[in-house]
A and B are shown apart, each in its own frame.
Chain A
Amino acid sequence: MRRQRLTARGTERFRNYDAVLRQHEQEKRMKKIVRVFTFFVLIAGIIVLYVMVNRWEKKVKSKDVPKKEVRIKSNR
């Protein structure tokens, strides 16, 4: 238990709105960067997925095409 609560003069050294504002701006900027980064990662992921699916489809199609066999009949 304390005898007194901190007075306005006692809390004065902790009072700094400029610092609060600076930190707010910094966190806002950081949030924006994270959001942009997440967006690009998401887009990159979608592109990679698209390319992979495309390749896989091509692979499947090439397997489906029946192999041609050429026979030469000789009349001899």
Chain B
Amino acid sequence: MSEAEIRKEQEVIERSKKEPQAFGEIYEHYFDRIFNYIYRQTDDEELAGDLCSQTFVNALNHLHKYEFRGFPFSAWLYKIAGNEVNKHYRKSKGKKVFSIEELKVKELVEQASDGWDEEMVNKVINYMNELPTDMIQVLELRFFEDKDFKEIAFILDITESGAKMRTYRALDKLRTHFHIKVKYNG
């Protein structure tokens, strides 16, 4: 996101603090991304729809508290969305789900020689199932949402170095586990 875009977004947000109708522009812009982010963590369309709506309602309710900290507004929305998902799992006492699109995993992992096959997909699924939740969260934000480490740290309430450490650790595991090249290096 360019600086001009961030500045324009801030103007819309300042306007939204006085007239909530203006927030519609932000809603339209980020709806799909936030929906998919929640959907990946719930694997339930209806639930993702509800939590996504609640995310935007909460954002509107607390918009007066929002302060620009150098990140795009989406970072704040991702943070609220993450909190909503956690709240849901705490209430339902269910097991947290991470569902990732196959295409995204293919994007993440560039195989050195062999072609991508079902067996490899299954291996990656099994491997990811074994990864701790905090590592998957960081991988998800870094590679599937294209967030930088500063933003990830803000969204997950961790330090920037903590975010980097988690990512590199997960990537190292991927490299050694599958003997493959990982497209991104963080």
Verify A17–B57 contact, CB threshold 8 A.
Answer: no
**Minimal beta-carbon separation of A19 from chain B (angstroms):** 7
Instruction: Give chain B's interface secondary structure class.
Output: helix
Query: Chain A, 29-71, contact with B by CB distance < 8 Å: what is the 0/1 string?
Result: 0010000000000000000000000000000000000000000
**Minimal beta-carbon separation of A2 from chain B (angstroms):** 5
**Minimal beta-carbon separation of B165 from chain A (angstroms):** 26
**Smallest CB-CB separation from A13: which chain B residue?**
B49
Verify B53–A4 contact, CB threshold 8 A.
Answer: no
**Minimal beta-carbon separation of A18 from chain B (angstroms):** 9
Residues on the B chain within 8 Å of A4, using CB: 101-103
Residues on the A chain within 8 Å of B45, using CB: 6, 10, 14
Verify A28–B61 contact, CB threshold 8 A.
Answer: yes
Verify A14–B35 contact, CB threshold 8 A.
Answer: yes
Binding site for B on A (CB under 8 A): 1-6, 8, 10-11, 13-17, 19-21, 23-25, 27-28, 31
Verify A3–B101 contact, CB threshold 8 A.
Answer: yes
In the assembled complex, the Cα of A21 lies from the Cα of B60 at a distance in Å of 8
Count B-side interface residues using an 8 Å CB cutoff: 29
Verify A27–B57 contact, CB threshold 8 A.
Answer: yes
Verify A27–B99 contact, CB threshold 8 A.
Answer: no
Contact of A20 among B27, B99, B100, B121 (CB under 8 A): B27
Not counting A3-B102, A17-B27, a sample of 10 additional A-B residue pairs whose C-beta atoms are within 8 angstroms of each other reads: A1-B101, A1-B102, A1-B121, A4-B101, A6-B35, A6-B36, A14-B45, A20-B27, A23-B57, A27-B61
Most buried by A among B28, B45, B52, B57: B57
The reply to whether the CB of B157 lies closer than 8 angstroms to some CB of chain A is no
Residues on the B chain within 8 Å of A21, using CB: 20-21, 24, 60
The reply to whether the CB of B125 lies closer than 8 angstroms to some CB of chain A is yes
**Smallest CB-CB separation from A27: which chain B residue?**
B61
Verify B60–A11 contact, CB threshold 8 A.
Answer: no
Verify B56–A20 contact, CB threshold 8 A.
Answer: yes
Identify 30 residue pairs between A and B in the complex whose beta-carbon atoms are under 8 Å apart, listed by A's number. Answer: A1-B99, A1-B100, A2-B102, A3-B103, A4-B102, A4-B103, A5-B36, A5-B39, A8-B32, A10-B45, A11-B31, A11-B49, A14-B45, A14-B48, A14-B49, A14-B52, A14-B53, A17-B24, A17-B27, A17-B28, A19-B53, A20-B27, A21-B20, A21-B24, A23-B53, A24-B57, A24-B60, A24-B61, A25-B20, A31-B61
